[in-house]
Amino acid sequence: MHDAAPIQAFPDHAHDHASCVAEALATAERICNERGVRLTALRRRVLELVWNSHQPVGAYDLLGELARGGRRAAPPTVYRALQFLLDQGLVHRIESRNAFIGCAHPEDRHVVEIMLCSQCGRAAELPDDRIASAVRAAAKRLGFEVQRQTIEVTGLCAECRTAPAGAAAERS
């Protein structure tokens, strides 16, 4: 992972989210091109919907959103689109919620460590793979090979920690 990589953290509630979405879609198009895989219209639309906010979105919600947008897609088609996005590292699955969030630095293959804010419901990545490395090393000493690990931490984002009570109702 190079230093210049943008790191997804909890942005201000007032940030310009449209530019997050625009950047995510532009990055997705670029890396799919580089990898020689196709970002079809449906895959792009699903990615856009996952990026609708910084809150994890479930597959059922995605299906509903697609139907509302007049693009009714069969669930298996949507699951395949999601699987494509997962395989390309464009989205991450939040295991504990069975939901998805967009990745802001999909060009770098990385261990996924998720912070979940229990107040505003947003998710962000913890840009630090030392936990994952420590688990892998400790497991290896026991002769265990890690295939998949889920690191999800629940807490309060910086903004919610300092927000006055009641402000949490305002969701981004």
- The residues binding Zn ion (CB under 5 A) are 17, 20, 103, 117, 119-120, 125, 157, 160
For the record, the structure tokens of 107 come out as 């060009």
Q: Output 37 or 67, the one with its CB closest to Zn ion.
A: 37
- Nearest distance, CB of residue 38 and Zn ion, angstroms: 21
Give whichever of 63 and 103 is closer to Zn ion, judged by the CB atom: 103
Question: Which candidate, 169, 158, 53, places its Cα nearest to that of 120?
Answer: 169
How far apart CA 53 and CA 49 sit, in angstroms, is 8
> Which residue number, 98 or 118, has a Cβ lying nearer to Zn ion?
118
At its nearest, how many Å lie between Zn ion and the CB of residue 142?
A: 28
What is the distance of C-alpha 126 from the center of its chain? 11
Coil, helix or strand at residue 117: strand
Which C-beta is closer to Zn ion: that of 109 or that of 141? 109
Task: State in angstroms the smallest separation of the CB of 7 from Zn ion.
Answer: 9
Least distance CB 158 / Zn ion (angstroms): 8
Q: How far is CA 155 from CA 58, 120, 132, 164, in A?
A: 20, 10, 19, 17
